[in-house]
Amino acid sequence: MRRFLIVACLMLTAGAAHATSGPGCLIVTNVAANDVLNMRSGSGTSHSIVDVLPPGNHGIIHLDGPCVPKSASPRSRWCKVSHYNGDKVTKGWIKRRFTVDSDCP
């Protein structure tokens, strides 16, 4: 049992480190300073807004997988992300055209 707990703790620690360090983060761009990028519950504007990301003040946006659909131009794709802002974590989808790649802090 103790070995299982150690392995489980190591897996959780490794996952947390990946989520907030190294490549795989995004920065909001192409959004006016007085506007926000809406994070949605699904990959499309018909889905509800679950969070808002103001440019230059949005915490960490981690890319959780490839942006879709692959058949669309990169600017037209939707990306599944996790938004880390203080103690709050929100999962959702954002439009790729409003972001640029960044290393996670």
pLDDT at 93 over 80: yes
* Three-state SS letters, 55-102: CCCCCEEEECCCCECCCCCHHHCEEEEEEEECCEEEEEEEEHHHEEEE
The pTM of this model reads 0.77
From first CA to last CA, the distance across the chain in angstroms is 35
Q: Which CATH number fits domain 2-104: 2.30.30.40, 2.40.50.140, 3.20.20.150, 3.30.565.10?
A: 2.30.30.40
What are the structural domain ranges in the chain?
2-104
Instruction: Encode pLDDT of 37-71 as tens digits.
Output: 999 999 999 999 999 999 988 999 999 999 999 99
Residue 52 to residue 7: CA distance in whole angstroms: 36
pLDDT number for residue 2? 41
Give the residue among 95, 29, 22, 86 at the shortest CA–CA distance from 59.
86
